[in-house]
Amino acid sequence: MHTVIDRLTAEISEKNPLQKVYIKGLLENDINDEEIQDLESILNLLTRDHSIEELADAYLLLVGDTMEETAFFLQNGHYRYSTLAEVNEKVYQNTEYMNKYMLGLLISGYLWKNHLAINRWFKQTIAKFHGKNYLEIGPGHGRYFLEAINLGNFDHYTGVDLSPSSIKLAESFIEMNKTSDAKQYELICADINKYEFDSLFDGVSISEVLEHVEDPRSLLRRIHEITNEGADIYVSVPINAPEIDHIYLFKSNEEVFKMVEEEHFTIKDYFYVTSNGASYEKAQKKRIAVNLAMHLVHA
């Protein structure tokens, strides 16, 4: 009997021979049974509203756009856009594109080895966070926010995202997947820099957001402002990783370490993975993408 994963990967492989070889290796060697079950559940939910062909096309749109942006980056040494106004006009205001992009990202969380590795590190790190109030900045499709809610280490969970379509997707994803005894949560469509919170946070997650803003330092300062001393913060950023809506180019792990320490966070732990398994040195030399995740503490 064919699973939804089989049907999806067959559709992807038919349209993209490179992905055929890559996915075959991933399914045989890299993804574990728990992740297969998670992906199967997610795909079963998604196929209520989308055909397999639509899901494959959403994933391949992300793959194709990533390759286009990588080609641009390798030729020019910078990302295509550098201001929020540009990506707002070209990407965020395009609801149809954004919906496909979010679906593609959700699927890539299981089909890209670097995403799988970072997701595993997120899970083990976030399990160590405890306290009263938890905040996720930019929950996107809601997968990480759901993970935190289901762990239940906090009394209250808040998610803040600028994008109405992300809030809608995250809400339906969480409602369909949360455990029966899940704690109270709220999703707010707002600008994190302007929203007035009632209390400070003891735990924060901000995953793949800093590269979407023009001034990541000011966002780090905002996180410092709205967290208690000693608060645990999970931050992940891509290095040399062009995507259509990435505007701030981080060039090395060391640059990120310096930035967070200058903004008064202590690095308790960190993890990184290169996009194709190359060494960090080779990735830096050839400008291959690196995903960096950190466990920071409000110093």
Partner 1 sequence: MTKEEVFSRLTEVFRDVFDDESIEISETTTSADIPDWDSFEHINLILAVETEFGVKIPMGKAVALKNIGELADTIIAMA
Residues lying near partner 1 in the complex (CB under 8 A) are found at 15-19, 21-22, 60, 63-64, 66-68, 70-71, 74-75, 275-276, 286, 288-289
Extract long-range pairs of 210-213: CB within 8 Å, 24+ residues apart. Answer: 210/235, 210/237, 210/248, 210/250, 211/237, 211/238, 211/241, 211/246, 211/247, 211/248, 211/249, 211/250, 212/84, 212/87, 212/138, 212/245, 212/246, 212/247, 212/248, 213/84, 213/247, 213/248
- When the beta carbons of 160 and 289 are compared against partner 1, the nearer one is 289
Looking at beta carbons only, is 19 or 227 nearer to partner 1?
19
For residues 92 and 112, which CB has a smaller minimum distance to partner 1 in the complex?
112
- CB 57 to partner 1: min, Å: 12
**Given the complex with partner 1, which of 70 and 205 has the nearer CB atom?**
70
Q: What number of H helices and E strands is found in the chain?
A: 12, 7
Residues paired with residue 207 on neighbouring β-strands, in sequence order: 236
Sheet strand arrangement including 201-207: 184-189, 154-161, 131-137, 201-207, 227-239, 290-298, 265-274
Q: Which is nearer to partner 1, 60 or 102 (CB)?
A: 60
What is the nearest approach in angstroms of partner 1 to the Cβ of residue 98?
A: 19
